[in-house]
A and B are shown apart, each in its own frame.
Chain A
Amino acid sequence: MTAVTNDVPAVPATVTDARKAGSGLMIACIVVLCVWVLLPIYLLLVNALSSPAEVTSFPKRIIPSFDFGSLSFFLNFQGVGKALWNSVAVALLTMVLSIGIGAPAGYALSRFDFPGKEAFRFLVLMTRAFPLPLLALPLAVLFIRTGLDDTAFGLAIVHTTLSLPFAVLITFSLFSGIPVELEEAAWTLGCNRWQAFRKVVLPLALPGIAASAVFAFTISWNEVFAAAVLTIENRTLTAFLLQSINVSPLYLKFAGGAALVVPALIFIFAVRRYLFAMWGIANR
């Protein structure tokens, strides 16, 4: 054994060297990619944390002065407070609608085999092949007829078509991960179907359901096109920023951008553990 290893010392050494060089290259790649993702966000935050005069001055410093002039100008700007509130309201409604409608469908897909199951899955997957924000165009007319135009609820409906497929597929994979035997055990112990669901399945699925709710909230919070088409008086933050983009000064844009980015960063951080579960199922 020892003799053999002594005869060929060069080969393992080269392999280790190659491994070392490989991991050095990989670390370099990771650093470059992290800088590529994080630096632009940092620069936006630098601008948002500088005074209006600094934002329009030249050259730019890469360290913020932590002057809240831009942010307070943004927050006190006509319509911004309302836009922020509208964004939150639409996103909350979207969250409730997509989980309320999507979770039962996800549960049904995970627990039952029935005729028409494939047709439903096809309908859900078909939404992927369609540019959904375009739905805002015909719905604008439909909403005027039904009095839903320019309301948070009307916009939340369009945002729900965006987030519902995710809610269905995510909850489907969540419920599939909970053994049906647990439910059956609850039935034999005298629970009916609803009690078994509420006392056994729901507590186990709750963190995942919360994550997909946050995901639905984020989809709505970020959406621009439908929000800009469907709201006039009750604009969301994205609609407000888009519609005033040609007339607003730079420091207003950047403070607004930061107001969009910071909550989204927190949301995506909150659901980071579920990113795989959410997108892994995209394969099926």
Chain B
Amino acid sequence: MRSTKALPYFLLAPATVFLCVFFLYPFVLVAIDAFTKGGAVTLDNFRTMTSNWKFPETLRNTMLLAAIVVPIQLVMALSMATIVSKLSAGRSAILYIFAIPLGLSDLAAGLIWLTIFEQSGFLNSWLVSLGLIDKPIMFLGYQNKLVIFIAVVLAEVWRATAIMMVILVAGMGLIPKEYHEAAEVFGASPWKRFIKVTLPLLKPSLQTALILRVILAFEVFAVVAALAGTQFPVLMGETYHWQFTLQDRGVAAAFAMLILVISIAFTLLLLYLLRVPKEARL
């Protein structure tokens, strides 16, 4: 009897210790790095970070990217999940195809979209063969900031919609069929059923999907590095730049704290906005 009581703790111990040592403790360390310089407590690292000429653009780029990419992905993921959950024949094949980007590296996604947008790439080839332009345009050059932004948005939408879709498909599977049938009996149109039945019952999945996705959006890094190099600064890229190229761990840690604070703030916001009262849970 005694051994059975101790057994769960024994089984949980490795994972708990691992997460404390390599997850909680390092975040304490990074906070210390951010708020100290040469052993003294200071806000210098944050001042260096915010006074850098690139900082406003970096913050703006990251937030704007998240603000545009996430809503597009939400609509796309909901449509894809609705399609998949209505399918009977070929469902698993379609689901696999839709889910493919989920398994790809963000660096690979950036390189994939580079094949389209680079100067001798496919977009230029198509535009020239259609006679729309005479000679290839340098889409990803510094004078084409808007195109760079669009390319990054497309690559991000392409890459990370699958994560939301799979979570939503799983969530839709949990909604009992009877709710839809009842709504149908009362004469609700498919659109009304989606708005009044599916969406409210999907709230927990929407919450999970949005939290995961929003945090990933603030972590955008390799897609940008592959498509835009240093011409489109984002928070994670600047963190890497300060840590690796400029060798200033304090400022890199300050950037890390900023990303952390934004991520947690948005997580809490989504937990609040999409909260489900206990009595309304399935």
B-chain residues with CB within 8 Å of residue A140 when the two chains form the complex: 243, 249
- Shortest CB-to-CB span from B149 to chain A, Å, is 18
Is there an interface contact between B15 and A134, defined as CB atoms closer than 8 Å? Answer: no
Is B65 part of the binding interface, using a Cβ–Cβ cutoff of 8 Å?
A: no
User: Which of B40-48, B176-184, B258-266 lies at the interface?
Assistant: B258-266
A-chain residues with CB within 8 Å of residue B211 when the two chains form the complex: 128-129
Is A62 part of the binding interface, using a Cβ–Cβ cutoff of 8 Å?
A: yes
Contact of B128 among A59, A129, A132, A242 (CB under 8 A): A59
Which B26-45 residues sit within 8 Å CB-CB of chain A?
Answer: 26-27, 29-30, 33
B-chain residues with CB within 8 Å of residue A127 when the two chains form the complex: 19, 23
User: Which of A5-13, A31-39, A75-83 lies at the interface?
Assistant: A31-39
A-chain residues with CB within 8 Å of residue B9 when the two chains form the complex: 114, 116
Which B245-265 residues sit within 8 Å CB-CB of chain A?
Answer: 249, 252-253, 256, 259-260, 263-264
Is there an interface contact between B120 and A33, defined as CB atoms closer than 8 Å? Answer: no
User: How far apart are the CA atoms of A33 and B94 in the complex, in Å?
Assistant: 10
Which A103-121 residues sit within 8 Å CB-CB of chain B?
Answer: 104-105, 107-109, 111-112, 114, 116-117, 120
User: Which of A65-73, A201-209, A249-257 lies at the interface?
Assistant: A249-257
A-chain residues with CB within 8 Å of residue B8 when the two chains form the complex: 108, 111-112, 114, 117
Interface SS, A side: helix
Is B239 part of the binding interface, using a Cβ–Cβ cutoff of 8 Å?
A: yes
Contact of A229 among B128, B170, B244 (CB under 8 A): B244
Is A56 part of the binding interface, using a Cβ–Cβ cutoff of 8 Å?
A: yes
Is there an interface contact between A283 and B267, defined as CB atoms closer than 8 Å? Answer: no
Is there an interface contact between A104 and B97, defined as CB atoms closer than 8 Å? Answer: no
Is there an interface contact between B112 and A242, defined as CB atoms closer than 8 Å? Answer: no
> For this complex, into which size category does the number of interface residues on chain B fall?
35 or more
Which B213-241 residues sit within 8 Å CB-CB of chain A?
Answer: 215, 218-219, 221-222, 225-226, 229, 236, 239-240
Contact of B15 among A26, A101, A246, A256 (CB under 8 A): A101
B-chain residues with CB within 8 Å of residue A269 when the two chains form the complex: 96
Is there an interface contact between B15 and A168, defined as CB atoms closer than 8 Å? Answer: yes
Contact of A246 among B119, B136, B174, B229 (CB under 8 A): B229
Is there an interface contact between B23 and A161, defined as CB atoms closer than 8 Å? Answer: yes
Is B160 part of the binding interface, using a Cβ–Cβ cutoff of 8 Å?
A: no
User: How far apart are the CA atoms of A222 and B105 in the complex, in Å?
Assistant: 4
- Shortest CB-to-CB span from A27 to chain B, Å, is 10
- Shortest CB-to-CB span from A130 to chain B, Å, is 7
A-chain residues with CB within 8 Å of residue B121 when the two chains form the complex: 60
Is there an interface contact between B97 and A37, defined as CB atoms closer than 8 Å? Answer: yes
A122-150 vs B, CB cutoff 8 Å, 1 = contact: the mask equals 01100111111111011111100000000
Nearest A residue (CB) for B252:
A137
Is there an interface contact between A160 and B22, defined as CB atoms closer than 8 Å? Answer: yes
- Shortest CB-to-CB span from A202 to chain B, Å, is 14
Nearest A residue (CB) for B282:
A283
Is there an interface contact between A164 and B256, defined as CB atoms closer than 8 Å? Answer: no
User: How far apart are the CA atoms of A229 and B30 in the complex, in Å?
Assistant: 14
Question: If A161-B22, A282-B170 touch, does A120 touch B112 (CB 8 Å cutoff)?
Answer: no
User: How far apart are the CA atoms of A232 and B230 in the complex, in Å?
Assistant: 21
> For this complex, into which size category does the number of interface residues on chain A fall?
35 or more
Is there an interface contact between B107 and A282, defined as CB atoms closer than 8 Å? Answer: no
User: How far apart are the CA atoms of A105 and B224 in the complex, in Å?
Assistant: 37
User: How far apart are the CA atoms of A43 and B16 in the complex, in Å?
Assistant: 44
Contact of B12 among A104, A161, A222, A225 (CB under 8 A): A104
- Shortest CB-to-CB span from A217 to chain B, Å, is 11
Nearest B residue (CB) for A55:
B120
- Shortest CB-to-CB span from B56 to chain A, Å, is 21
B-chain residues with CB within 8 Å of residue A185 when the two chains form the complex: none
A-chain residues with CB within 8 Å of residue B144 when the two chains form the complex: none
B73-104 vs A, CB cutoff 8 Å, 1 = contact: the mask equals 00000011001001000001011111111111
Nearest A residue (CB) for B229:
A246
21 A-B pairs whose Cβ atoms sit less than 8 Å apart in the complex: A37-B158, A40-B115, A102-B15, A105-B11, A117-B8, A120-B15, A128-B215, A130-B215, A131-B256, A134-B256, A137-B239, A138-B26, A157-B22, A222-B103, A222-B105, A224-B107, A261-B108, A264-B105, A267-B103, A278-B166, A282-B209
Q: Interface of B with A (CB < 8 Å)?
A: 5, 7-9, 11-12, 14-16, 18-19, 22-23, 26-27, 29-30, 33, 79-80, 83, 86, 92, 94-108, 111-116, 118-122, 124-125, 128-129, 136, 158, 163, 166-167, 169-171, 173-174, 204-205, 208-209, 211-212, 215, 218-219, 221-222, 225-226, 229, 236, 239-240, 243-244, 249, 252-253, 256, 259-260, 263-264, 267
Supplied contacts A41-B112, A133-B221, 14 more A-B pairs, CB within 8 Å = A26-B86, A34-B94, A34-B98, A37-B158, A43-B122, A56-B120, A108-B7, A133-B236, A238-B107, A245-B225, A260-B105, A264-B108, A268-B103, A282-B170
